[in-house]
Structure 1
Amino acid sequence: MNVLTRFGRAVRAWHRPLVGHALLMFGLAVVSAVGLFADDRRLLGEPVWAKPMKFGVAMGVYSLTLAWLLTRLTRGRRAGWWVGTVFAVAGVLDVGAVTWAAAHGTFSHFNRDTDDVARTVQTVFSFGIMPLLLATLVIAILLLIQRTGDRALERALRAGLGLAFAGMVVALWLSGSAGPAPRTEIDANGHAVSLVGAHGVGDPDGHGMFLTNWSTTGGDLRVPHFAGLHAIQVLLAVAAVLNVLATRRAWLRAERVRARLVGAAGFGYAGVFTILSWQAARGQSVLHPDAATLVAFGAVAVLTLAGAAQVVTAARRHAGAAVALGVRGAG
């Protein structure tokens, strides 16, 4: 039995609405990728199908993570199932609105026009965004009240979901309060569209980075939003790597050691997320950090590495003492 077969069988036991949602999102990403080549329309210099493709990949990965995560619950499983289902439905609505706007060659976010497409998108967003935020918060609370695995995994899940919630809060900020005065832009059909709000700070529609289209000319709140949303995958990967290394390193076999190292990684990731949010809010491109930003990144790196080094040193010392004690006892 190969890896893909085992994975497929495992997925069948996961939260089915979220798995279905993930498959739908990945399918949308594939269709949108084809649209990049088949449709030459552009919005603010970016292909109209770029945003649905990015949303499809991001939401697919995140919902698949939640689908697995809900199987870890030992209490509140029924509540978790319903919350996951709400997330799946809301996700389809939100990404569906993005796709609907792209298909019509117009803006999904910040569009305050009164035509049928804009009003449909506005209505869907008004009902779809908040359930995503609340569902993530409820799942995080369910994780806080129970054990879901070893300490390292538990810490990765809690920190990752907390950062995902923070990343969604940034998205709400992105959706209006950080934006500039109302302005008019031209959509892919040559029509003037009224926009209120922006993802950019300093340069509302700044763009330029390859693939992500994050701003190279100003702050961009999509950067911390992305970092927060995918923290859980990064921290789960850290926990998984530590578990593998524990089979070869005796000093990593204690749960508390791996948990503390995941905690150090979570601290560092939270620091980076905070700095990215601060940097974007100041109208500064992620590619052009100033001295204050570099100092902040440096401080987070030093504190994170120092914390991790302390954990490793203490664990190795303890493991060495245990080995020495065993040798003396055998003698």
Structure 2
Amino acid sequence: MIFSLAMVVMTVASVLGLIVDDRMIAGAPNWLKPFKFAVSFIAYSVMWAWLMSLHPRRPRWLHHTGTLLAVAGVVEMAAIAGQALRGKPSHFNVQTEFDATLWITMGITVAILWVATLAASISVARDVLLPRPLKLSINLGMAISLAGMLTGPLMSQRETGIKGVAGAHSIGVPDGGPGMPITGWNLVGGDLRVGHFIGIHGLQVLPLVAVVLAAFVARHAILAREEVRTRLVWTAGGVYTGLFALVTWQAFRGQSLVEPDALTLLAFAGIVAAGTAGVTWAKSAARTPVPA
């Protein structure tokens, strides 16, 4: 939580940077990347602080894992913000020995974050006791989040042919082209950041679905059945996984999120149909007699 508060301060500082600093990096405002990462880290750290607080025993190694996550996050943000202060790209930048060292350090911290998140996820999935729909949503969210984090290294493996650049977000077009507001996602080509974003934030979205379903129990009698809510969470998890896979596949085909072709639309329709079938499956649980 201390780290999340630090990221709130970083978010405010980045907003001020966006206002007073007119420098651009790869076609985006200089302080946009620190802003996006700070906001993402707030969601990440608050969520994990809550999940770790649910552990019935809170073993010492899990406490140390939380500390490791925070320290790795600090190192990552220090590199990103430091490069912004210099007016240099933080990602894929190997133009000088110093830039390359920072980029390698960031790669190491990402690996540490992933391994530590995996260890914490296994502990939460195994030991934390919660109502079945909420526990399922957390387990699915952790799995999708870990998969989303793995799309990051895929970007660093992209060959650009540009000296001093080791990787790229975009596919089919160079980085730095027209981008969506705030996110900066490429508007004319594929962009792996779309799947990366959707994937890593599954850990926030799916538990929120379970919480909302529980909140509506008093208003909708059908949701009083735990099995109905559980099946709806399974459905939400399946739809969310499908969307994550779809936008990642779309990016690898060099296609912008806002310019889907017929094949992408057909796949999206399939996800919608599967989601509709899942809702029907969930509703059918309300008609199943409760075991004596």
Shift of the 207–133 alpha-carbon distance from structure 1 to 2, 3 Å rule, reads farther
Task: Show the counterpart of 2:223.
Answer: 252
Structure 2 distance, partners of 1:258, 1:75, is 28
Q: Structure 1 residue 76: deviation in Å?
A: 5.4
Task: Show the counterpart of 1:94.
Answer: 76
1:274 equivalenced with 2:245 (yes/no):
yes
Task: Show the counterpart of 2:17.
Answer: 35
Letter in 1 for 2:131: D
Task: Show the counterpart of 2:139.
Answer: 158
Pick from 195, 200, 205 the counterpart of residue 165 of structure 2: 195
Task: Show the counterpart of 1:213.
Answer: 184
Instruction: Give structure 2 stretches of 5+ with no counterpart.
Output: none
Structure 1 distance, partners of 2:246, 2:57, is 35
TM-score of the pair, normalised by structure 2: 0.94
Task: Show the counterpart of 1:23.
Answer: 5
Pick from 233, 249, 255 the counterpart of residue 284 of structure 1: 255
Q: Structure 1 residue 75: deviation in Å?
A: 4.7
Letter in 2 for 1:149: L
Letter in 1 for 2:167: G
Number of positions where the alignment pairs a residue of Structure 1 with one of Structure 2: 289
- Deviation string 1:127-173 (CA, Å, 9 cap, x unpaired) is 31111111121122112323431001101110111111001100111
Letter in 1 for 2:201: H
Q: Structure 1 residue 218: deviation in Å?
A: 0.7
Alignment of 1:1-331 (within 5 A): 19-75=1-57, 77-116=59-98, 118-174=99-155, 176-177=156-157, 179-184=158-163, 194-205=164-175, 206-315=177-286, 317-318=287-288
Letter in 2 for 1:153: L
Q: Structure 1 residue 29: deviation in Å?
A: 0.9
TM-score of the pair, normalised by structure 1: 0.83
- Deviation string 1:237-269 (CA, Å, 9 cap, x unpaired) is 111111111123332223222111111100100
Structure 2 distance, partners of 1:204, 1:59, is 27
Structure 2 distance, partners of 1:120, 1:97, is 10
Structure 2 distance, partners of 1:131, 1:74, is 25
User: Among the aligned pairs, what percent are the same residue?
Assistant: 39
Structure 2 distance, partners of 1:168, 1:145, is 21
The structure with the larger Rg is: 1
Q: Structure 1 residue 120: deviation in Å?
A: 4.2
Structure 1 distance, partners of 2:127, 2:70, is 24
Structure 1 distance, partners of 2:253, 2:52, is 37
CA contact (8 A) 1:180 1:204 kept: no
Instruction: Give structure 1 stretches of 5+ with no counterpart.
Output: 1-18, 185-193, 323-331
CA-atom RMSD in angstroms? 1.6
- Deviation string 1:75-126 (CA, Å, 9 cap, x unpaired) is 553332221111111011111111111110011111112243x144124214
Shift of the 75–172 alpha-carbon distance from structure 1 to 2, 3 Å rule, reads farther
Q: Which piece of structure 1 moves more, 119-128 or 30-39?
A: 119-128
- Deviation string 1:200-236 (CA, Å, 9 cap, x unpaired) is 1111303421111100111101000000111111111
Q: Which piece of structure 1 moves more, 94-103 or 121-130?
A: 121-130
Q: Structure 1 residue 181: deviation in Å?
A: 3.0
